[in-house]
Amino acid sequence: MTLKKPKTPKTPKEFFEYAKENNAEMMDLKFVDLLGTWQHCTFPLDALDEDVFEDGVGFDASSIRGWQSVNMSDMLAVPDPVTARMDAFFAEPTVSVIADIVDPIAKKYYTRDPRYIARKGEEYLKKTGIADTCCIGPEPEFFIFDQVRFEQNQHRGMYEIDSVEGAWNSARFEEPNLGYKPSFKGGYFPVSPTDTYQDLRGEMTNEMRKLGIGIEAHHHEVATAGQAEIDMKYGPLLEIADQFMWYKYVIKNVAKRNNKTVTFMPKPIFQDNGSGMHSHISLWKNGKPLFAGDRYAGLSELALHAAGGILKHTAAILAFAAPTTNSYRRLVPGFEAPVNLALSGRNRSAAIRIPMYSAKPKAKRLEFRCPDPTCNGYLAWTAMMMACIDGIKNKIDPGEPLDRDIYEMTPEELTGYKHTPRSLEEAVNALEEDHAFLMAGNVFTDDVIETWASYKRDNELREMALRPHPYEFHLYYDN
């Protein structure tokens, strides 16, 4: 199937023409909260005019995670006509549009709006003169399950997931059970019938292609139980962050349409590979790539300094890029998770890998392998870019490459390399101690850093610390 990139509007007038051409009767306005989840409200199109693209619509920001207090709750969501797309998951023809958030009194963009932070980041990059474009190419992974159950209260804490592909179901009575269950850590690239989700991933892919999202490939991933990967084609940071919101939305809704459920949790299955989101980053100027050169792995000196910036600030970046307690169930040795803060051509155990598939200059990029898909792309990728800028400005040395197989190295040999944080708490602490690089150009602000850290501590770290863990009953009940 050949799909043309959809014709999308650029002005308010073109937005209403686009809606009419597609027989849309509703506008669904979406915006992203601080943690990276879309919120939405739907309006009949005949109740709107072009003024909505200047005046916006009011909403209660005190009900949005990490945003306003009750006494300062009124905010405006101002739709961006360029983001208009037809939404495939409504019964009525509906045009979806992404909004920016504006303070109704000051008439200024809201500092805690992640989309605004990403836009400021792109503007700051241009002002530095280093580059005019930061390209991001994400590789999100996720699990497709048949069922999930979980509960947490005063007297019970449990979860249970199931998948027809789960290796644990090889003996289940399925009338008939045909086998074909990918084994633990045995799910990478099998063909049908072991890969049962080829058609479902294809459906997800084509829904995204209809929206103009470039997709490079899809395949089964390493873990059992329906782990999947659909790779996005690289593009400018803000554009890809917008597309990543559509990506999650489409995948979850296509799964639901097929009576399946998707999770982007990094580590839902014990003793099997987790889901990461390797993020490729490169800088360009006047249409030319800046990361190709004659240094290590075909990189330029500028690219090496950019890598040095990411490696120096990895712990702080991961407060945004691996932002959950579950993220650090994945970032452990032994499951291909990159825990060593080093640069390497081809070595997948290093935090930054240099893909060597092509020698073309435009293919030269850094693949930062630590992020996972629970992150807010607007914040995580902007933080990565700011670290690159800091590395370039200060000529930060990335250190000696890690080209050896780490499983053959002794603990003494590995002591020369720093590691990723071992917990979300360590990452949040690092962010509080090391965030000056994020605040250059006023891209991130004090209130964003403080709100993020306090939200993570109050709503995630503290709440996790209060609750007994099911495994503690195994360890301690009969002591």
Catalytic residues: 60, 139, 141, 221, 229, 278, 348, 367, 369
Stretch (H or E) spanning 100: strand 94-102
Provide the b/e sequence for 139-174 (b: ≥16 CB within 10 Å). Answer: bbbbbbbbebeeeeeeeeeeeebebbbbbebeeeee
- Contacts of 323 by beta carbon, 8 Å cutoff, 6+ apart: 35, 36, 374, 375, 376, 380, 424, 427, 456
- Residue 228 has, within 13 A of its CA and on its CB side, a CA count of 28
For residue 358, give the 3-state DSSP assignment: coil
Of the candidates 124, 122, 125, 103, the one whose C-alpha atom is nearest the C-alpha of residue 112 is 103
At residue 464, what is the residue type? M
Decide if 385 contacts 377 (C-beta within 8 A).
no
Residue at token pair 């990139």: 5
Give the span between the Cα atoms of 34 and 328, in whole angstroms. 21
Of the candidates 241, 374, 366, 390, the one whose C-alpha atom is nearest the C-alpha of residue 313 is 390
Give the span between the Cα atoms of 379 and 385, in whole angstroms. 10
At residue 218, what is the residue type? H
At residue 189, what is the residue type? F
114's tokens: 């992640």
DSSP 157-217: EEEEEE-TT-GGGTTS--SS----PPPTT--SSPPTTT-TTHHHHHHHHHHHHHTT--EEE
